[in-house]
Amino acid sequence: MTTPKTEFSWLRFYRAGARIGFQRDVQYRTMTFVFLLAFLVEPVIYLAVWQNVAASQGGSVGGYSEAALAAYYITWTLVRVFNLAFDPYAWEWRIRRGRLNDFLSTPIHPFHRDFSFFIGSKFVWTALWFPVAAVLTLIFRPEFNLSLFNIAAFGVAIWGGFAVRFVLLYLMGLANFWTTRASAVFGVVIAGELLLSGRLVPLALMPEWVDSLASWLPFKWTFQFPIEVLIGRLDSDAVWSGLGLQVLWALGMGVALWWGWKKAIVKYAAVGG
């Protein structure tokens, strides 16, 4: 028997996979909206705290006025919508339910299923995000420094942030193949991300050495960088190099993922699901 003709194309697959994610989230839009609210409580808390600090210091802290802080954290919300990625904790559930076996007996790597699914769902989440952002804007009165270039670059940077974080979390998820206590690993990484990505607070408000450290890690490119692109805190050189670094981090960690996955599968297939 000869290999039957296959018309596989990546574009077609990603379109189909994205459609699945999109349709599913449209179906569960109420639930998705509540989840969105749950995720966006976090930046409101940070914003309130730092606006307080700014107010107590005469209206600004670390170069951020109250309005600038509002711009930072409101942009944060959209960046967050985009950098939501496949939960590394979900692997254990997936393995136990046999879902991984289902995926492994098909010719497509689970990464692509998940990645395309998330891409599709981004569109639903973004649509649901608009009203929330509008309300936050009314309450916190942000000040933006928008330019066409910034907006366009932001459009690319949020997807870049998504790609970097998605690969990062997927890579972390591999820990599940070696230990059932992977939560310990994740705890450390998420704590690191909180402090070193601009998630908790703009890196400018951190001690300098932290800011330098953050430049060597992938976290910054998932939160801080896209945010700063939009609120106009970066000159065009920084924007271009940042976009480039996003690509480098995504590809670099992608290679690590490709290699790590091979090892993980050998481990998995030694004992099965």
Partner 1 sequence: MSSKPAGAVRLALLHWRIGALNEMQYRLNFWVQLFNSAIALATGLIAIALVYGHTTSLGGWSQPQLLAVMGVHITIGGILKTFIQPNMNRLMEDVQEGTLDYALTRPADSQLMVSVKEVSLWSVVDIALGLGVIGWSVNELRGDIGWSHAVGFIFALLCGAAIIYAIWLSVSTLSFKIVRTDSMMQLLNGIYEAGRWPVTVYPGFLRASLTFLIPLAFAVTVPAETITAKINWWMLVIGAGVTVLALVGVRAVWRWGISNYSGASA
Partner 2 sequence: MANPIEVEGLSKSFKVPVRETGVRESVRSLFRRDFRDVRAVEEISFELAPGEIVGFLGPNGAGKTTTIKMLTGLLHPSSGEARVLGYRPWDRERDLLRRIALVMGQRNNLAWDLPAVDSFVLNQAIYGIPEEAFRARQAKYVETLDVGDIVTKPVRNLSLGERMKMEIVGALLHGPEVLFLDEPTIGLDVTMQRRLRNFILEYNADTGATVLLTSHYMADVVALAQRVIVIDHGAILFDGPLSQLADRFSAHKKLTIEASDLPDDLSHWGRVLERTPYKVVLEVARESVSKTAAQMLNQATVTDLSIEEPPLEDVIDRVFTRAGNDDAED
Residues that bind partner 2 in the complex, under the rule CB under 8 A: 1, 3-9, 12-13, 15-17, 19-20, 23-24, 27-28, 98, 101-102, 104-108, 265-266, 269-273
Q: Count CB atoms within 10 A of the CB of residue 184.
A: 9
Q: Count CB atoms within 10 A of the CB of residue 208.
A: 9
Q: Compute CA 75 distance to the chain's CA centroid, rounded to the nearest angstrom.
A: 13
| Contact partner, 13, from partner 2, partner 1, none, Cβ < 5-8 Å per class | partner 2
- Two tokens, residue 65: 């006025």
Residue numbers 164-183 binding partner 1 by CB under 8 A: 181, 183
Please say which residue, 38 or 271, places its beta carbon nearer to partner 1: 38
d(CA 6, CA 11): 14
d(CA 122, CA 127): 9
| Contact partner, 101, from partner 1, partner 2, none, Cβ < 5-8 Å per class | partner 2
Q: Which residue has the tokens 């909206």?
A: 33
Ramachandran sector of residue 270 (left: φ over 0; alpha: ψ -120 to 50; beta: rest): alpha
Binding partner 1 by CB under 8 A: which of 26, 127, 206, 247? 206
Name the minimum Å distance from CB 217 to partner 1.
16
Residue numbers 23-62 binding partner 1 by CB under 8 A: 31-32, 34-35, 37-39, 41-42, 44-45, 48-53, 56-57, 61-62
DSSP state of 198: S
Name the minimum Å distance from CB 262 to partner 1.
27
Q: Which residues on adjacent β-strands are paired with residue 64?
A: 61
Positions in the binding site for partner 1 (CB under 8 A) = 31-32, 34-35, 37-39, 41-42, 44-45, 48-53, 56-57, 61-62, 139, 181, 183-184, 187-188, 191, 194-195, 200-201, 205-207
